[in-house]
Copies of this chain bind each other. A is one copy, B any other.
Amino acid sequence: MSAALGGILLTALVGHASAQTEANRSARYFPDCANGPLSNNTVCNRNADPLARATALVKEMTLEEKFANTDQNQPGAPRIGLPPYIWWNEALHGVAEQNGVQFEEEGEWSHATSFPQPIITGAAFDDDLVHRIATVISTEFRAFGNNLKSGLQAWTPNINPFRDPRWGRGQETPGEDPFHLSSYVKALIDGLQGGEDPEVKRMGATCKHFAGYDLESWNGNHRHQFDAQIGSRDLVEYYMPPFQQCARDSNAFSFMCTYNALNGRPTCADPWLLNDVLREHWDWTDEQQTVVSDCGAVQNIYYPHRYNDTREKVVAEALTAGTDYDCGTYYSTYLPGAHEQGLIDESDLDMSLIRQYSSLVRLGYFDGPNSTYRGLGWNDVNTEEAQQLALRAAEEGIVLLKNDGGLPMKLGSNMSIALVGSWANATEQMQGNYYGIAPYLHGPYYAANQTGATVNLVNQPGGGKNNPTTDNLKPLWTAAEQSDVIIFVGGIDNDVEAEDHDRHDIGWSGNQIDIIERLAEYGKPMVVVQMGTMLDDTPIANNPNITGLLWAGYPGQSGGTAIFNIIQGITAPAGRLPVTQYPAAYIGQIPMTDMTLRPNETTGSPGRTYMWYEGEPVFEFGHGLHYTNFSASFDSQGSPSSYGNNTTESGASYSIQDLTGNCDERYPDLCPFSSFDVTVENTGSVSSDYVVLGYLTGQFGPQPYPRKQLKAYARVHDVAAGSSGSATLDLKLGSLGRVADNGDMTLYPGDYALVIDNDAKAVTNFTLTGEPVILDHWPQPPPPHFKTESYWVGGYPGTGPENQTSYA
């Protein structure tokens, strides 16, 4: 006789975590500060300091209750009226259906606005747009939270720079440029949290993933074990700026540490990173903000990082390094043992719990039903304004890459469209990942039908697959034959690029290029719309039979409408590529595991991003065509800190010592340098937005010099044909700084030029004189950590010890 343990199978085990979340969700309630057991506790005293309130609460908890509340799925403490709380909520580009967030099947709370993925919103280069989107997201999210459909905070934004085109989660970020990301995240956090320093935050934002995280699973290198080797200079100038903005300058609610190690140390166990840099150097302590581990990252310190030899040591290291709670079960399972073994004190535990509850205090969690933002409800979700904004965001972000003059294109009831490609009838695809239930999903097929034209729809397979064969695609050719216009909407989606799944090539996959070329042979007006993140568009760009090429990424709930509005000229395109479009062969020249930015003769790296890549991009960062023409010029004006004129020759000169001597900010990089007023003139015949991109270039600081660096941008809206618009580009001392080998941000003497747009529509020069001055002393990291035996070291090139010279 035999007996299975209740026939436990795969699904039962997988369902276990959700069951716990489900239990917490159904038990969710707000603390009852009026009549509950906590009513007399200081935590319920709205006049008390948040730290005092949280401290008073934690004081009431037993040791067991404390251990039980160290993971993301907190049971609370029913004994004292502390409700369960689920920390895992997501709101990347709208209220997302994940873990703590619960959508109803129909009626109220059954949907929320679904904006484009950040990569498209980033392409708008419009911080005001970002702020408005974030305000809608946090308003809707708070409405869900008020009604116990979610928590009050979420693990958003993902603000790691999009370093490598293969990254499966690059779509979650605004792009590859660190200034762009910092500027974007400043607007985003302000919009999510409800201002720069509100007493009660509308919603809590979490800047992730801190730091050096941008590899999922590439060629055997997995995020759970990957050890990102990043020198101080690259760290400070490229990987850190958005996080510095989050912590030091935008007072972000919380941070998330990563799966990967950074220079040999798993970040969730790295006191240098979480304490010396984050909490001390960036002074991110005044609100007792929390650090959460990525889900499973604490366990990963033990396996597969093998960073210490017992699970108890690992949780103790993480807790004392500054990881306040664990997304996982390792803290609640092994902290009791760590405590018994004397590896942690109860005070270590208290600190992390106080941080968590003080954070919840800041969200008004203990402030009762009449507190700030608690009035937000279902009427604040999916408003007419939110719907318009979602469409507007997609329109602003879509980039016109190629136009032979045939765009915009009239489409109407007397015409027929062959609408083909793997995205032709897209719905959820338009949302990318971390999405919620949208009120509607207006994809290309929907939008094509709105034009009144006859739509011959063929969704052909193969977009995301390796197989390049085109057998049995007769319906495609029939549609092309029968139609006046061909619109191909394809590319890649989350079957190809995704969390836990990087790409291994960046060409158009499967049979798509063959199909596109065969369709082009019909010689009809033909538009290709490229979805997903960057692909090498060379064959489309070079094909004289293809009228136009749009990049539409993941455009959200109204993506199809936005695409067809642009194709028809109802909206004029003005988006710009937020990333470099590399040729397909690029990824054969640099492994994804190489975290360096600069070209390197020894490794053969051609460099990364528009700042350093020395090859010829297919389309460069910032590229984006219009339906009109623009010119730009610097304004001459009286302000002592402004200068310029539209000239490349004459320029002012400044003494570094004067500039820094007049600066009394705690962080000198924040002192203003100058504002540059730019006038933009629409010299064509179509009203259009225009994005002013301000690049700094010149001979200063350590060599090699970057090609250029974005230091300011502004989107000028609705410049009518023949009219002008204006923008102001604010440069700070930090905008001029470059980073020394040891990570010190430094002001260097030399010749500077501020250049408007990729084609240098206007240039102004200036000179800095005097001795270099350090604007920011980078906390020096500890000596390299020697990594012991590691098993799971697969991958080519490997990340095993034999490939990590820095460990030697």
Contact = CB atoms under 8 A, between A and B. Distances in A.
Interface of A: 1-5, 7-10, 12-14, 16-17, 20, 217-220, 222-225, 295-296, 299-300, 302-304, 328-329, 413, 422, 425, 448-449, 452-461, 466-475, 478-479, 482, 500, 503-508, 511, 513-514, 536, 538-539, 584-585, 587-592, 791-800, 802-803
Q: Determine which residue in A14, A224, A458, A505 has the highest number of CB atoms from chain B within 10 A of its CB, and name it.
A: A505
A584 B803 CA distance: 13
A792 B584 contact: yes
Interface centre among A422, A448, A471, by most B CB within 10 Å? A471
Contacts of A449: 2
A326 to B, nearest CB: 10
Contact of A798 (B5, B448, B588): B588
Nearest to A300: B468
Contact of A796 (B1, B12, B219, B459): B219
B472 A329 contact: yes
B469 A328 contact: yes
A504 B795 contact: yes
Given A8-B459, A303-B514, A472 B13 contact: yes
A8 B475 contact: yes
A505 B220 contact: yes
A764 to B, nearest CB: 39
A468 B303 contact: yes
B329 A585 contact: no
| Chain copies in complex | 2
Contact of A459 (B10, B413, B514): B10
Contact of A224 (B4, B224, B467): B467
Contacts of A1: 413, 452, 454
16 contacts: A1-B454, A8-B458, A13-B461, A13-B475, A218-B504, A219-B219, A220-B504, A224-B469, A299-B470, A302-B514, A328-B471, A329-B471, A329-B472, A507-B793, A585-B793, A796-B796
Given A459-B9, A466-B500, A794 B471 contact: no
10 nearest A-B residue pairs (beta carbon): A588-B798, A505-B794, A220-B505, A296-B469, A16-B472, A220-B504, A2-B455, A4-B457, A303-B514, A585-B800
Given A2-B453, A3-B454, A794 B507 contact: yes
A478 to B, nearest CB: 7
Contact of A460 (B7, B13, B511): B13
B794 A8 contact: no
Given A220-B505, A505-B792, A589-B796, 6 more contacts: A1-B452, A13-B475, A302-B514, A504-B796, A507-B791, A588-B794
B467 A5 contact: no
A592 B461 contact: no
A355 to B, nearest CB: 23
Contact of A587 (B220, B225, B536): B220
A64 to B, nearest CB: 19
A329 to B, nearest CB: 5
Given A471-B328, A589-B798, A461 B2 contact: no
A454 to B, nearest CB: 5
Contacts of A220: 503-506, 587-588
A574 to B, nearest CB: 29
Contacts of A591: 796
A17 B797 contact: no
A603 B222 CA distance: 24
A420 to B, nearest CB: 10
A584 B793 contact: yes
A81 B337 CA distance: 82
A219 B504 contact: yes
With a 10 A CB-CB cut-off, give which of A12, A473, A793 has the most chain B CB atoms.
Answer: A793
B296 A795 contact: no
Nearest to A797: B588
A538 B589 CA distance: 33
Contacts of A13: 458-461, 472-473, 475
